[in-house]
Amino acid sequence: METATLLCQHCETPLLDVQKYCTQCGYPQGGTAGEKSRFHSERIMKAQKVKDAPKVIKNARTLLYVVAGITFLHSIIMYFGNATTDIFISNGILCLTYLVLGFWSQKKPLIALILGLMVYGTVIVINALVEPESMYKGIILKVIVVIFLIRGIHSAIELRRIR
């Protein structure tokens, strides 16, 4: 007894008559109208996520550049305000770190944004240990930075999972 070969209605991959789902795209060839409708709606939602993800990642990348700029300005102000050269150099290194992560996020957004969030969180924790009242200074800005970086990480994960 031979089974007839059909073509998937979605991607035109050859299917056996007994196959309910396409092995290539997952289309429910032998499924109900509800399953077919669900398949198409999920594809549309995935396409929308793929379309929106680069914009969210770009916003997170821009935020890394902004944090680098703020760090640089802060280090200059601190340096001319009689701070030590050590603080100026460490802030300069931190600024360069954010810049490098921003440039790297063009090629590898997920790892660059995760590292950016880790560096930012580490700086907040170290500053809180050295000067506890610094934790409350600029809390709204700190929360906004963390939210944007987390949204960028989430979009990079979604983009990687979909592709």
How buried is 136 (Cβ within 10 angstroms: 0-12 exposed, 13-18 middle, 19+ buried)?
exposed
Structural domain contains residue 66: yes
Structural domain contains residue 120: yes
Q: Which residues span the domain enclosing 117?
A: 52-162
Structural domain contains residue 29: no
> Which token pair is 76?
């200059």
Identity (one letter) of the amino acid at 112?
A
Structural domain contains residue 21: no
pLDDT over 90 (residue 24): no
pLDDT at position 105 is 95
90 forms beta bridges with none
Structure-model confidence comparison of residues 31 and 103, the more confident one: 103
| Dihedral (CA of 26, 30, 34, 36) sign | positive
163 band by pLDDT with thresholds 50, 70 and 90? low
Compute the 3-state secondary structure of the chain and give helix, strand, coil in percent, each to the nearest 5.
Answer: 70, 5, 25
Structural domain contains residue 17: no
Provide the percentage of residues in the chain whose pLDDT is more than 90. 48
* Mean of pLDDT values over 89-114: 95
Nearest by Cα to 160 from 86, 88, 109:
109
pLDDT over 60 (residue 4): no
* Mean of pLDDT values over 51-72: 93
Structural domain contains residue 64: yes
1 band by pLDDT with thresholds 50, 70 and 90? very low
Q: Coil, helix or strand for 4?
A: coil
pLDDT at position 45 is 79
Q: Coil, helix or strand for 124?
A: helix
86 band by pLDDT with thresholds 50, 70 and 90? confident
Q: How many domains is the chain built from?
A: 1
Question: Tokens 């549309």 appear where?
Answer: 44
Task: Output the 3-class SS for 50-99.
Answer: HHHHHHHHHHHHHHHHHHHHHHHHHHHHHHHCCCCHHHHHHHHHHHHHHH
Judge if pTM exceeds 0.85: no
Provide the strand spans (E) within the chain. 5-7, 14-16
- Which of 73-87, 112-126, 128-142 reaches the highest mean pLDDT? 112-126
State the Cα–Cα distance between residues 40 and 46, nearest whole angstrom.
10
State the Cα–Cα distance between residues 75 and 15, nearest whole angstrom.
64
Structural domain contains residue 38: no
